[in-house]
Amino acid sequence: MNATFSRSPVSDVGKAINLSQNVQGHPVSRVRVHGRRMYRFKTDRWFGYMWKQQGFAYSVFARYSSRVGWTFMREFVGSLHPLGRLWTGRTSQGRPVYLYRSGGGLDWTVFSVFSCAGGGRTDVGYDEDLVGVNHGGAFADVFSLINLPDPDTPVRDTLSMKGRFPSSTGTKVTGSFDSHQVSVHHPGDPRWNCGAKLSWQASPFSE
């Protein structure tokens, strides 16, 4: 089978309707699939669904096939989880911050400049695990781990990332980032005695 699932500008719905109905002569119908209102399409080579969500056009299409029919497409649409949303912004140091929130949780990345006792260096803060967001929109990611930037100098990274999503969409997310790094065996080593403490804000990203 050959199928696609994509997100595009909401204006693509009107373009697809025009192509199907006016150019290729295939009627487009309004249907409800698993509780979601959407458009049912046929073209000369593809068939599937389109709908509007989060200010975008979402589409699921498949090429005509003896093995793939409308039953499969309806089941496929019903199994989909809504895509997440991206916030982008800047820290108080003027460096980028990215937040991606989906049904699974929050994925975040903060670019920061650590101030070290022996000079400055650029570093990045992130977590590979998704972070939970409570009903009020607040989230917190706090952890401490041993890092090996140098085989002979293990360091302990202690990090705190906090923020809150607003109750209304379209407004900024704000928060703080606090991280410290120190040598495990030689706490006074200026190369590995570094830290960053900053605030950040991010706005919804529009494609």
Per-residue pLDDT, 84: 81
Three-state secondary structure call for residue 118: coil
User: pLDDT, tens digit, for every residue of 25-78?
Assistant: 999 999 999 888 999 998 888 899 999 886 788 899 998 877 778 888 898 888
Structure tokens at 99: 């937040």
Per-residue pLDDT, 108: 92
Per-residue pLDDT, 169: 64
Measuring CA to CA, how many Å separate 22 from each of 19, 27, 50, 51, 193?
Answer: 6, 9, 17, 19, 67
Q: Could you tell me which residues come within 8 angstroms of residue 193 by beta carbon, excluding any fewer than 6 positions away?
A: 116, 117, 118, 181, 182, 183, 187
Burial label, 53 (beta-carbon count in 10 A; 0-12, 13-18, 19+): middle
As a whole number of angstroms, the distance between CA 10 and CA 70 comes to 24
Per-residue pLDDT, 106: 92
Range 174-180, long-range pairs (CB < 8 A, 24+ positions): 174/199, 174/200, 174/201, 175/199, 175/200, 175/201, 176/200, 177/91, 177/97, 177/110, 177/112, 177/125, 179/112, 179/114, 179/123, 179/125
Residues of the chain with pLDDT under 50: none
- pTM for the model stands at 0.62
169 CB neighbour count, 10 Å cutoff: 10
